[in-house]
């Protein structure tokens, strides 16, 4: 996958997803067997005994056909995956104990200095009264992070166990052996590894926990990898690569391959992880925004629900379908959903024109051109092929589409190419130019300028559209234009940062505007982390394969938050997932390194639809002051709103309180009153006030303390907090408050954003809100 651009990487998995859907549709039409997931809720009945209804269905299934059963789920929840016809799947829905039945979906991957930048941003906002000596990057911990991804490269130095103590006695997992992977590959750092076979694509090379793609290794090292000094990608992005919780143990669940990530495998990994004893689960995978499933058909939402009920914090990527609205993935309220941001490091591949004008392009390339601008330069349109057989469109030539340019015109030159269409990736265009005898490429693309692809030894620079006119003017006003492209260098303290990149999926949550997603943002652009050690496709000529590699995506932002969640769990081992989520969200920052508001890549001020509560900080979640604890009733009432009746809810959850029923006069406004660290009000017509109720728990060092509310209120809205002060005592650590939203205008057309911050002079606890019509 040499130098795959981020867009090509995503479209690759998107095509796999579409193929899987087409395959499922044909299977249904022909009444052929397909794999279906039969979800049956909790693993045990309310009295704690194993579910008989599951056993009965499995017994009848085994009598019907040998090998019909693909997987069973019995640890954290109940159910199975089996080969069924469409009619058999429909009949399963009506069987006792069944919650839902759905085709086995194929999910996709959502794919150092970042930790230095996060700490720097944190320090900007911490005064001497609230600073802490603790650092999430140096906490020693027996916290266990589970990674559901493409596996792991165990030989990476990021996963050595030097200096680590014995494996926690509560660990119940295993180290599965497979192709080129033995139990000796696990150690006191990498304490567990599992893989899940694909019942459709029986490729024996996938029967291993070993990472064949690199993505899982990259993610695991970002979350919990050891500090490795001098890490770089052939000298670029040099520094110390480390995870957010380097003292944590890592358990790997290989659920993804080149064929995608099977939903049945994801559920199996959740089931195993619950029994294994992990503390945090990190999933940089999900669905396409276009094909977002219902909660009842979503393997991640289902698995995460049961993991959270077992005390496991589940962190998921938000998806890479931005910048359009309602593109968010992994929207369940029990999931901590992570958007992406940039860091203050830029990769610059400078272009020098013959008039000595210097343009700072992007991308990662290691060309060996001379520093002086002596190489002939040509615009793709001017290199257009004149063919008697094929009519070449001017736009095809401008965009340097394959077979659109003349070999003789390209040979020995640097070619300037636009990149308006995405029929061919940046790397394909570069390879095409080089194959025609060209020297290198200057590509025009705003998005790829700051989301770097790797281009190997071929000179390549990506410039912005705003820089393009100057290049074009020089080309057309100069008799013999020349230029050069310099090798990539890393530039730090780049401003502004963080910025929300174009690809990061956005809110509001589709069909669920009373729940604000994403929850938080973290670095996900140009992240250096560990890589599989045999990737010759990414090796420079004459060099060994890289041990570290640069990737972008919410796949990279997710493990940053997973690492911080593990650090919080290590300091507060009794805290549940909602308290950990709250600590991370309420201590986020909304300020960039220019001391201004965080913006998107378009320059607009970012909103909670872009970054949730803001950019995650490193040490502040370890001292949050107050936390919002979302209890089981909140989630059960959420299921009520989604149409589950009490009989189905009792199947799903093991913690349904005695006498619980779905509220009478059920309204979607109930979701707004979930005890969540953010507030979303919808259906606001400006005529009637709306109210949200919240409860906070004092977890600060002072038992007796007074918190005062301060408000950031947008124009057109009146917000009242009652009471305005919260006095905590030794005997009363939980206090509630109400928020009243009233319109000050006759009509509301835009979504309105603001925040409520509780302060006591030591801690600041911020809750963002959004009000929509």
Active site residue 555: yes
Q: What is the chain's alpha carbon radius of gyration, rounded to the nearest angstrom?
A: 27
Q: How far apart are CA 483 and CA 112, in angstroms?
A: 33
Q: How far apart are CA 302 and CA 648, in angstroms?
A: 13
> Is the previous residue joined to 417 through a cis bond, with omega within 30 degrees of 0?
no
Quick one: which of 339, 228, 271 has its CA closest to 598?
A: 339
10 Å CB burial of residue 325 (0-12, 13-18, 19+) is middle
Set 185, 215, 306, 419: catalytic member: 215
Set 453, 555, 672, 743: catalytic member: 555
- Give me the residue label for tokens 């009989």: 647
Q: Are 621 and 564 in contact (CB under 8 A)?
A: yes
Q: Are 520 and 582 in contact (CB under 8 A)?
A: no
Quick one: which of 305, 339, 681 has its CA closest to 514?
A: 681
For residue 195 the two structure tokens come to: 């893989």
| Phi-psi map region of 230: left, alpha, beta (phi>0 left; psi -120 to 50 alpha) | left
Looking at the DSSP assignment, which residues form a beta bridge with residue 545?
none
Cβ neighbours of 191 (radius 10 Å): 24
> Strands, DSSP E only, in 623-704?
626-627, 679-681, 690-698
Looking at the DSSP assignment, which residues form a beta bridge with residue 176?
none
Active site residue 149: yes
Q: How far apart are CA 539 and CA 214, in angstroms?
A: 14
> Strands, DSSP E only, in 242-331?
249-254, 256-257, 260-262, 280-283, 285-286, 313-317
Q: Chain-centre distance of CA 119, in angstroms?
A: 20
10 Å CB burial of residue 69 (0-12, 13-18, 19+) is middle
Quick one: which of 228, 214, 211, 281 has its CA closest to 250?
A: 281
Q: How far apart are CA 304 and CA 144, in angstroms?
A: 16
Set 142, 149, 344, 446: catalytic member: 149
Q: Are 374 and 353 in contact (CB under 8 A)?
A: no
Quick one: which of 351, 181, 159 has its CA closest to 246?
A: 159
Q: How far apart are CA 679 and CA 683, in angstroms?
A: 14
Quick one: which of 147, 197, 246 has its CA closest to 618?
A: 246
Residues involved in catalysis: 149, 215, 555
């Amino acid at each position: 996958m040499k130098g795959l651009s981020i867009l090509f990487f995503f479209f690759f998995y998107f095509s796999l997803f579409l193929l899987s859907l087409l395959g499922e549709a044909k299977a249904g039409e022909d009444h052929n067997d397909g794999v279906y997931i039969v979800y049956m809720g909790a693993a045990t009945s309310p009295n704690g005994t194993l579910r008989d209804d599951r056993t009965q269905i499995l017994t009848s299934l085994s009598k019907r056909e040998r090998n019909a059963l693909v997987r069973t789920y019995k640890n954290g929840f109940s159910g199975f995956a089996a080969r069924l016809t469409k009619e058999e799947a429909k009949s399963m829905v009506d069987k006792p104990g069944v919650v839902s039945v759905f085709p086995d979906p194929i999910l996709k991957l959502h794919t150092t200095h970042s930790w230095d930048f996060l700490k720097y941003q944190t320090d900007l906002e911490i005064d001497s009264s609230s600073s802490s000596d603790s650092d999430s990057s140096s906490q020693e911990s027996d916290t266990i992070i589970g990674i559901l991804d493409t596996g792991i490269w165990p030989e990476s130095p990021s996963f050595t166990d030097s200096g680590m103590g014995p494996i926690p006695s509560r660990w119940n997992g295993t180290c599965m052996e497979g192709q080129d992977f033995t139990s000796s590959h696990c150690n006191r750092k990498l304490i567990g590894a599992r893989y899940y076979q694909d019942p459709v694509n029986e490729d024996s090379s996938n029967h291993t926990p070993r990472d064949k793609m690199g993505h899982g290794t990259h993610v695991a090292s970002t979350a919990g990898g050891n500090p490795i000094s001098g890490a770089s990608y052939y000298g670029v992005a040099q520094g110390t690569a480390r995870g957010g919780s380097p003292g944590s143990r890592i358990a790997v669940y290989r659920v993804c391959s080149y064929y995608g990530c099977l939903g049945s495998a994801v559920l199996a990994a959740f089931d195993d992880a619950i029994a294994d004893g992990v503390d945090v689960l990190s999933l940089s995978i999900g669905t396409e925004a276009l094909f977002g499933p219902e909660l009842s058909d979503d393997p991640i939402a289902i698995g995460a629900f049961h993991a959270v009920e077992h005390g496991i914090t589940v962190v998921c990527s938000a998806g890479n379908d931005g910048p359009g609205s309602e593109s968010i993935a992994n929207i369940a309220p029990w999931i901590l959903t992570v958007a992406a941001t940039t860091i203050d490091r830029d990769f610059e591949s400078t272009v020098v024109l013959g008039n000595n004008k210097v343009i700072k392009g992007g991308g990662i390339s290691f060309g060996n051109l001379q520093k002086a601008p002596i190489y002939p330069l040509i615009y793709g349109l001017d290199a257009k092929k004149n063919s008697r057989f094929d009519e070449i469109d001017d736009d095809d030539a401008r965009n340097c589409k394959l077979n659109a340019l003349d070999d003789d015109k390209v040979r020995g030159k640097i070619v300037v190419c636009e990149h308006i269409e995405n029929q061919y990736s940046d790397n394909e265009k570069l390879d095409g130019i080089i194959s025609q005898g060209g020297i290198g490429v200057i590509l025009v693309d705003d998005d790829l300028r700051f989301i770097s692809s790797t281009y190997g030894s071929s000179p390549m620079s990506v410039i912005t559209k705003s820089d393009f006119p100057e290049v074009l003017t020089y080309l057309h006003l100069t008799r013999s234009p020349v230029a050069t492209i310099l090798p990539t260098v890393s530039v730090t303290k780049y401003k502004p940062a963080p910025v929300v990149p174009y690809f990061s999926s956005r809110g509001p949550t589709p069909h669920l505007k009373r729940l604000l997603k994403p929850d938080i943002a973290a670095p996900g652009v140009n992240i250096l982390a560990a890589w599989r050690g045999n990737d010759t496709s990414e090796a420079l000529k004459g060099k060994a394969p890289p041990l570290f590699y640069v990737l972008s995506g919410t796949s990279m932002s997710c493990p940053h938050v997973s690492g911080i969640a593990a650090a919080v769990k290590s300091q507060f081992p009794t805290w549940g997932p909602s308290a950990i989520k709250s600590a991370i969200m309420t201590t986020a920052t909304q300020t960039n390194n220019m001391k201004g508001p965080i913006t998107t890549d378009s320059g607009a001020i970012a909103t909670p639809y872009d970054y949730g509560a803001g950019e995650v900080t490193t040490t502040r979640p370890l001292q949050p002051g107050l936390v919002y604890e979302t209890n089981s009733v909140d989630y059960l009432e959420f299921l009520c709103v989604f149409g589950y009746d009490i009989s189905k809810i009792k199947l799903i959850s093991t913690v349904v309180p005695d006498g619980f029923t779905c509220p009478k006069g059920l309204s979607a406004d109930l979701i707004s009153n979930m005890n969540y660290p953010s507030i979303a009000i919808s259906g606001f017509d400006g005529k009637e006030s709306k109210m949200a109720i919240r409860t906070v728990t004092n977890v600060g060092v002072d038992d007796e303390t007074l918190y005062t509310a301060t408000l950031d209120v947008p124009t057109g809205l009146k917000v009242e907090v009652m009471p305005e002060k919260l006095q905590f005592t030794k005997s009363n650590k939980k206090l509630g408050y109400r928020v009243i939203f009233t319109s000050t205008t006759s009509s509301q057309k835009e979504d309105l954003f603001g925040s409520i911050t509780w302060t006591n002079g030591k801690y600041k606890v911020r809750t963002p809100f959004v009000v929509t019509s």
